[in-house]
Amino acid sequence: MSFKTVPQMFQHLVNERPTLKTFYTKTDNGWEGVELSELQVLVEDFANGLKNLGINEHDKVAIIGANSRLWAISDYAIAHIRAVSVPVYPTLIPAQSQYVVEHSESKIAIVQDEIQLDKVHSLINDASSNLQKIVIMDDSYNGGKDNVVKFSDVFNMKDTQHDIRAISAKVEENDLLTLIYTSGTTGNPKGVMLSHANICNNLLSIDVNIKAAMELNPELKPADGIERFVSFLPISHSFERVGGHYGCFNAGMQIYYAENLPDMSFVVPNIQEVRPTFLTAVPRIFEKIHAKIMEGVESATGIKKVLANWAINVGLKAAPYFQRDAKLPFLLGLQWNLADKLVLSKFRAILGGRVAAASSGGSALSPEVGSFFCGIGISIIEGYGLTETSPVMTIGHPDFFKFGTVGKAIPGVEVKIQPDGEIVCRGHNV
């Protein structure tokens, strides 16, 4: 399926798989998801509420919060009414949050809780700011601040009933979809303007790689055949926004939102519960898991330690074959199957036991760590890009990849290395 706008992509998947559950959240009763048909109603009702709050075409709406179902509903609703989302990291200090909201000329800010609310509420009374209202996701809020609306109340704002599908059909591929502010290494953060065409062409270009990754190690697929993904990298960053939030949704995966705790201690336990089939992470995550495994091996004694080291070495010998999707030589194949049964499958179980492939970006993955994971049966595909390229420029293919490289340019994108070493890029993603 080809699509030119985010609403087209969203509506197509809903129509194709209305009963698929996604956007899972951890509750007291376990992980609870929502069917796509119900999600469609939530997105359109929230979009209608935003229209009744005064959001018009091309207006900016800031979203300040951690990864969650409500964050995703907000983003899709904003896109459906031809408005522009402005993701803001919840970890920013008040002055930085205020700068992004003010500079982007956001009319509404959707915030996670009272902590985020307090960071930007003063802008409502600031003559230099466009901010008019704040929507708070936390329904327990009762602080009584002016111009603050609860997220749940927005769904019921139906004084005027807008035809959201008709509005979304008017969205054009060159319309601005989002403003993503980069870190600002040379001063204040810079707002990167990305259109629907930028993001959608990027999604279509990497879709082949994502689907190919899902075909690795078919024996690891869940019995129901549904792919699963745990979202824990910041959704405000272009890597998770496109690779996880949009990319995994478009691929028909069930998305689970990791618990929002102050540190990263929740990630591995959540992954072990969900047992995802695909992961996106930065090298530091893989490095920490690798280090933990190796610490365990080093602390082992006797035959356990000898067996673990033997199995790891067998995996390292097998990794080059896995990297080029080649069959293992007979003897090595026998050794790897034995090593997998005795040791390697237990290493994979740390990530739930079903991860066939993962995507790494943000910085370079060491060949040592990459080869280790490949050897135990988890292929880590590296890519390269930046916010200004939506974000993917190059990516490895699951059937052929080399550690220490970032693959080839995606379809529709050209990359060139200048004589002075500068990397230049042109294409639908810029």
Measure the CA–CA gap between 325 and 374, rounded to whole angstroms.
11
pLDDT reported for residue 215:
83
Q: Which residues of 397-412 are buried (b: 16+ CB within 10 A; e: fewer)?
A: ebeebebeebbebbee
pLDDT tens column, 26-54 = 999 999 999 999 999 999 999 999 999 99
Instruction: Give the C-alpha separation, 296 to 294, whole Å.
Output: 5
Which residues have a Cβ under 8 Å from the Cβ of 58 and sit 6 or more positions away? 82, 83, 84, 175, 176
247 in Cβ contact with 203 (< 8 Å):
yes
* Angle made by CA atoms 41, 44, 49, in degrees to the nearest 5: 120
pTM of the model: 0.95
Q: What is the pLDDT of residue 164?
A: 98
Alpha-carbon distance of 240 to 258, in angstroms, equals: 13
- Per-residue pLDDT at 217: 81
- Of the candidates 95, 70, 105, 78, the one whose C-alpha atom is nearest the C-alpha of residue 10 is 78
d(Cα 172, Cα 292) in Å, to the nearest integer?
A: 48
The pLDDT value recorded for residue 144 is: 85
- Separation of alpha carbons 76 and 80, rounded Å: 6
pLDDT, tens only, 405-423 = 999 999 999 999 999 999 9
Are 379 and 357 spatial neighbours (Cβ–Cβ below 8 Å)? yes
> According to the model, what pLDDT value does residue 262 have?
61
Q: Average pLDDT of each block of 10 consecutive residues along the chain (430 residues)?
A: 93 97 96 98 98 98 97 98 97 96 98 97 94 97 93 95 97 98 82 97 90 82 90 95 95 94 78 95 94 95 96 98 95 98 96 92 94 96 95 92 92 96 96
Reduced to 3 states, what is the DSSP secondary structure of residue 363? coil
Q: How far apart are CA 426 and CA 39, in angstroms?
A: 36
Residue 184 is predicted with a pLDDT of 65
Measured CA to CA, the distance from residue 219 to residue 197 in angstroms comes to 36
> What letters, b where the CB count within 10 A reaches 16 and e where it falls short, cover 44-53?
bbbbbbbbbb
pLDDT at 55: 98
Q: Which pLDDT belongs to residue 188? A: 87
